[in-house]
Structure 1
Amino acid sequence: MKLVFAGTPEVALPSLTALAGTDQEIVSVITRADASLGRKRTLTPSPVAQAAIARGLPVLKTNRLDAAATETIRALQPDLGVIVAYGGLIREPLLSVPRLGWINLHFSLLPRWRGASPVQRAVIAGDELIGAAVFQLVAELDAGDVFGSFSQPLGAHSTSGILLDQLSHSGAELLLRVVADLAAGTARAVPQAGEVTLAPKLVRDDARIDFNQPAASVYSRIRGVTPEPGAFTAVDGAVLKLLAVAPSVDEVNLPAGMILQREKTVLVGTQTEPLVLLRVQPAGKTAMSANDWWRGVAAETVTAS
């Protein structure tokens, strides 16, 4: 089949690499335009653009799948469109351009967590299971019939970044099977069943940690927003990024937000038991161990807010 692939970040790379290794023909790779990155704001191609160019695949860089992009894709006469974390919506008439329409690899157990941040929202909510699904793209957000899915335990300590990396590889294997079935004419999709929940894109305020919540909820939120947008709090009016934390076995009772060091362990209080701060990044400084940061605090206690 002639495929059009749409994707942008690193989590889309395993799928692109897997498809490029089959006998399917990728006639175009669609990705978002180069972005300004780093302190020097250097224009940088997306991970998918870089991988496609390295493979000699034709690339279409666009942030809007408008009429011009639609006509460009229509001229290629694709059999199937494949989208993995492109970062934009595909609407009519582009939705109907490929002979078999578009399929989407989505990192959730649909219909749970439809939207832009399914893994992050699942971790924050404390879900026990996580997974991925390949479904037929329709006009309604993430609502199409499902060709295949899988699930795995979310794990008590995994961050959303770790889980996304895992799912991107397992999901690529699922995607290959669905594409092969579509090429053979044997693919069958079933309607989604269950309660619909939404996973809107995370914003910076989602990463501000409220230590007045129970420890389990605080721990889940920190893992859910790691590495992006990145958990943070404020100490003495200055931002402190929370790069790694862990549950505590210490039975000390601390007021919510109070930070102190106890037997070379830096603890922060929550509504219930404290958490251990492992790695932090103070404003304007590089990442460091919590113990190294605490040595510079020079106080018996401080309060995060």
Structure 2
Amino acid sequence: MRLVFAGTPAPAVPSLRRLASSDHDIVAVVTRRDAPLGRKRIVTPSPVAAAAEELGLPVIRADRLDAGVTEQIAALRPDLGVIVAYGGLVREPLLSTPSHGWINLHFSLLPRWRGAAPVQHALIAGDAQTGASVFQLVPELDAGDVFGAIAQEVPPSATAGELLASLAEDGAGLLADVVQGIADGTATARPQQGEPTYASKLGDDDGRVRWDEPASAVLGRIRGVTPEPGAHTTIDDARVKVLAVRPAAPDAPPLAPGALALHSREVHVGTSSAPIVLETVQPAGKGAMRAADWWRGLRATDLVAAS
């Protein structure tokens, strides 16, 4: 088949590479425009754009799938559109432009966590299992019939970035199988079953640690917002990024929510249940450092992290 692939961030790259190595012809790769990144704001192509150029595939850079982009894609006579984390909506008439429409690889077990940040919300909610689904794109958000899904247990220490990277690799195989099934005429899509939940895009406040929650919820939030938008708290009127944490030992002394203490050379913070251990932090204006080293430089006692 003649495929149009739409995607932007790194988790879409394994799917692009897998399809590029198949017998199908990727006639265009649609991705968002180059954007300034880093402190020096260097204009940088998206991970998908960089991979497409490496593979010798034609690239259409667009932040919106507007009439101009629709005309470009229609001229290529695609059989199927494939979208993986592009970052924009596919509307009519583009939705019906490929003869087989569009399919979407989504990193959740639909209908749970429809929307922009399914992996992050799964971790914040404490889900024990997540996965990836390939479904037929329809006008309603992530509501189309599902061609196939894979489930994955959530590792207890995984961050959103780590879990998403794992799902991206496994999901690429699922996506390739569905594409081949559509080409063969053997693919079957079934309606989603269950009550939908929604995973809105995360903002800065989602990364604010709520120390008055139980330890499991605190750990889930921190891992769910790592690396983006990032976990943070306020200590002694200064913002501190929380980069890595883990549960404290079962015999660790209890602490009030938000209270900090050094115990067995570890920096502990209290929650509404058990304390957790700060492993890596980044104070404002400084680089990442071991929490114990940061603590020694504070020269303070009775500190409390603001919830």
The residue type paired with residue 118 of structure 2 is P
Counterpart in 2 of 1:7? 7
CA distance in 2, matches of 1:64, 1:251: 52
Look up the SS of the partner of 2:267 in the other structure: strand
Q: Give the deviation of 1:172 after TM superposition.
A: 0.1
Which consecutive aligned stretches of 4+ in structure 1 deviate over 6 angstroms post-superposition? Answer: none
Name the aligned partner's letter for residue 289 of structure 2.
M
- Distance (Å, rounded) in 2 between the aligned partners of 1:29 and 1:35: 17
Q: How does 1:122-271 map to 2 (within 5 A)?
A: 122-249=122-249, 250-271=251-272
Summarize deviations over 1:6-62 as a string: whole Å, max 9, x none.
000000000000000011000000000011111111111000001101111100000
Partners in 1 of 2:38 and 2:93 — Cα distance? 37
Give 2:294's aligned amino acid: W
TM-score (structure 2 length as normaliser) = 0.98
Equivalent residue for 1:92?
92
Q: In structure 1, what residue type is equivalent to 2:263?
A: R
- With 243-252 and 120-129 compared, the bigger mean Cα shift is at 243-252
- Report what 2:57 is aligned to: 57
What count of residue pairs does the alignment treat as equivalent? 305
Structure 1 unaligned regions, length at least 5: none
Cα distance in 2 for residues equivalent to 1:275 and 1:90: 43
CA distance in 2, matches of 1:263, 1:215: 19
The residue type equivalent to 2:247 in the other structure is: P
Matched AA of 1:260: A
**Corresponding residue number in structure 1 for 2:296:** 295
In structure 2, C-alpha distance between the alignment counterparts of 1:263 and 1:301, rounded to whole Å? 17
Alpha-carbon distance, 1:263 to partner: 1.7
The residue type paired with residue 278 of structure 1 is E
- Backbone CA RMSD of aligned residues: 0.7
The CA deviation at 1:155 is 2.1
Equivalent position amino acid for 1:56 in 2: G
Map of 2:17 onto structure 1: 17
Q: Distance in 1 between matches of 2:94 and 2:238?
A: 47
Cα displacement string for residues 173-201 of structure 1 (whole angstroms, at most 9, x for unaligned residues) = 00010001111111100000011000000
Q: CA deviation at 1:96?
A: 0.2
Shift of 1:156: 1.6
- Deviation at residue 285 of structure 1 after TM alignment: 0.4
CA distance in 1: counterparts of 2:133 and 2:221, whole angstroms: 24
Quote how far apart the aligned CAs of 1:300 are. Answer: 2.6
- Secondary structure of the residue that 2:114 maps to in structure 1? coil
Aligned-partner Cα distance in 2 for 1:39–1:163: 27
Secondary structure in 2 matching 1:57:
coil
Alpha-carbon distance between aligned partners in 1 of 2:95 and 2:302, rounded to the nearest angstrom: 57
TM-fit CA distance, 1:301: 2.9
**Corresponding residue number in structure 1 for 2:284:** 283
In the alignment, residue 202 of structure 2 is paired with which amino acid?
Answer: L
Which secondary structure state, in structure 2, belongs to the residue aligned with residue 201 of structure 1? coil
Matched to 2:161, the amino acid is G
**Deviation string, structure 1 residues 77-118 (Cα, Å, up to 9, x no partner):** 000000000000100010000000000000000000000000
1:302 match: secondary structure = coil
